[in-house]
Amino acid sequence: MTRQVVVVGAGIGGLTAAALLARHGYGVTVFEQAQQLGGCASTFWRRGFTFDVGATQVAGLEPGGIHEQIFSELEVSLPTATPCDPACAVYLPKETAPIQVWRDRQRWQQERQQHFPGSEGFWQSLERLFAISWRFQQRQPILPPRTPFDLWQLVQALRPDTVLTLPLSLMTVTDWLNLWGLGGDRRLRQFLDLQLKLYSQVDASETALLYAATALCLSQAPHGLYHLHGSMQVLSDRLATAIRRDGGQIHTRHWVTQILVDHGRAVGVEVQNLKTKTTTRVDADHVIANVPAQNLPQLLGKAIPRGYLHRLKTLPPASGAFVLYLGVKDAAIPENCPPHLQFLYDGTGPIGENNSLFVSVSQPADGRAPDGYRTLIASSFTEPSFWQQPDLDYGRTKAAYTQQALTRLGQFFDLRPEHIIHCEAATPRTFARYTARLDGIVGGISQRLSTFGPFSLATRTPIPHLWLVGDSVHPGEGTAGVSYGARSLVQQLLAGDR
């Protein structure tokens, strides 16, 4: 008899797990409350422009990369993509020359030596740590281990060089900077804080060193970050095609209101059809929750184990995002503008706690805008609880954030009114509404020492047959990260069902 799996949420992690399990002969049903698949890596359309909701770049498309491996197993072609080179151009306060993170290793070495003299030993040490971590990850360890099978998989993945890095799992980037005598290099710290905030949600003083080594070195060949042609939606669409081809079902506009637990194990879900407002029970042998871990208490109710509830309630605060979506004329974009930029501003203001903006610019003929036009997406972290205040004048506050973002972007882009065709903003309230993520949080769980790697949340929850996938589990956020987590989940689930 075919084993049945219900997947709650159609983000990249959930779709990847569903596609792999359908390929292995499982009966898979995916429920997604939104009309669009992809979660924070989905797309929306306005006036001829195609906007990526959240994620705007992807890793793991190169030979041996996680998406290449998974798409090969699914026998689905990889989407067309262009390497981002530079991966990002970073502008520090009052500086007009950017720090360009080149894909070519030698060119990036020359760039960082120019901007951060005396730091080369630090950078080369990160590259060595990344190489060790990459080889370790390719051996498909399960982190954190929760069963003898998990532990055995982890032990098999260990090598002498991996063991030597274990003490470093207790170090932050700042600890490592201090060991190299670079703790007082303010520009280097500013650059690292900006880059790490994108990937780990926290700065160098809190980011786990081993995580940072991967985050900071993944941009260089033979790896790299990629700009998809069309939109980020192409990843979801191809995974959905694989699911349906192999007999799986996908239901959009279906809200899972409860994960059902009987005698201590997950047995199915209650789901509401948002079109008909009818609620039904769907039984399953396994339930995969592609939701933020913070959503689980609401979905499980009294069935959640007390210890697990305490762990989830005491997780570090998650981040929200303010995002500005602009459709503009080509004339607004400087010549030779990189696809991704990061700005750090002096002073204070309402935009984000670290006063920065991350900007993604579409490229000519990449399918995101009509000829002669571009999309420009700017985002900044913000405190989700701020936007949940009952006495907040939401419309006025959102307008103020929008105006300040336009003013700051206008220092680099030509954003006179006649160049702006469409302007729209999203806040944590927007993300909560369209993605159903608690309080509109984004980016998963920060990669602090207490939540990284062996100390992270596991895909295997304390409730048998209930699994967690997405940016809450190892190895963290990003389409590549959640895909690694999905493959690890499938590896464990298949082993348990044998």
Q: In this predicted structure, which of 51-55, 111-115, 458-462 has the lowest mean pLDDT?
A: 51-55
User: Which secondary-structure segment (H or E) carries 137?
Assistant: helix 120-138
Question: Of 421, 438, 455, which one is at a domain's C-terminal end?
Answer: 438
153 and 133 together in one domain: yes
Claim to verify: residue 261 and residue 179 sit in the same structural domain: no
pLDDT at 350 over 80: no
Q: Report helix, strand or coil for 285.
A: coil
What CATH number does residue 451 fall under? 3.50.50.60
Residues 371, 353, single domain; the answer is yes
- Say if residue 215 is in the same domain as residue 182: yes
Do 310 and 450 have their domain in common?
Answer: yes
What tens digit of pLDDT does each residue of 28-82 get?
Answer: 999 999 999 999 999 999 999 999 999 889 999 999 999 999 999 999 999 999 9
**Which ranges of 314-438 does DSSP label H, i.e. alpha helix?**
384-387, 394-409, 428-435
| pLDDT digits 0-9 by tens, 298-341 | 999 999 999 999 999 999 999 999 999 999 999 999 999 999 99
Residues 299, 385, single domain; the answer is no
For the chain, what percent of residues have pLDDT higher than 70?
Answer: 98
Instruction: With respect to residue 263, please indicate whether it lies within any of the assigned structural domains.
Output: yes
- The pLDDT, as a whole number, for residue 349 is 56
pTM > 0.85: yes or no: yes
Whether the predicted pLDDT of 293 surpasses 90: yes
Q: For residue 352, what pLDDT is reported?
A: 47
**Domain assignment of residue 188, yes or no:** yes
* Residues 64 and 135 grouped into a single domain: no
Task: List the domain range (segments joined by +) for residue 127.
Answer: 104-221
Domain end, chosen from 195, 221, 247, is at 221
Residue 90 domain-assigned? no
**Confidence class for position 1, pLDDT limits 50, 70, 90:** confident
Question: Of the candidates 388, 416, 438, which is a domain's last residue?
Answer: 438
Residue 147 lies in a domain: yes
What is the spatial distance between Cα 194 and Cα 131, in angstroms, rounded to a whole number?
23
- Examine the pLDDT at 211 and tell me if it is beyond 70: yes
pLDDT exceeds cutoff 70 at 348? no
DSSP letter assigned to residue 435: H
Residue 93 resides in a domain: no
Let me know whether 235 and 204 are in one domain: no
Share of the chain above pLDDT 90, in %: 95
Task: Please tell me the distance from the alpha carbon of residue 375 to that of residue 46, in angstroms, as a whole number.
Answer: 11
First to last CA, the chain: 13
CA distance 42 to 156: 36
Same domain, residue pair 163 and 200? yes
Is residue 68 domain-resident?
Answer: yes
- Please tell me whether residues 308 and 451 are part of one structural domain: yes
CA distances from 43 to 13, 51, 474 (A): 16, 6, 25
**How many domains in the chain?**
3
- Is residue 123, in this structure, part of any structural domain at all? yes
Q: What is the pLDDT of residue 227?
A: 93
Q: What is the pLDDT of residue 347?
A: 65
CA–CA separation, 446 and 472 (whole Å): 9
**Per-residue pLDDT at 241:** 97
The residues near 459 (Cβ < 8 Å, ≥ 6 apart) are 467, 468, 469, 473, 474, 485, 488, 489, 492
Average pLDDT over residues 417-425: 97
The closest of 358, 344, 356 to 93, measured between CA atoms, is 344
pLDDT per residue as tens digits for the range 125-164? 999 999 999 999 999 999 999 999 999 999 999 999 999 9
Q: Are residues 311 and 458 in the same domain?
A: yes
How far, in Å, CA of 136 to CA of 370, rounded? 44
pLDDT at 355: 83
Q: Is residue 391, in this structure, part of any structural domain at all? A: yes
| pLDDT tens track for 361-416 | 999 999 999 999 999 999 999 999 999 999 999 999 999 999 999 999 999 999 99
Q: Are residues 432 and 448 in the same domain?
A: no
Cβ proximity of 175 and 183 under 8 Å:
no
* Mean pLDDT, residues 211-218 taken together: 96
Q: What does pLDDT average to over the chain?
A: 95
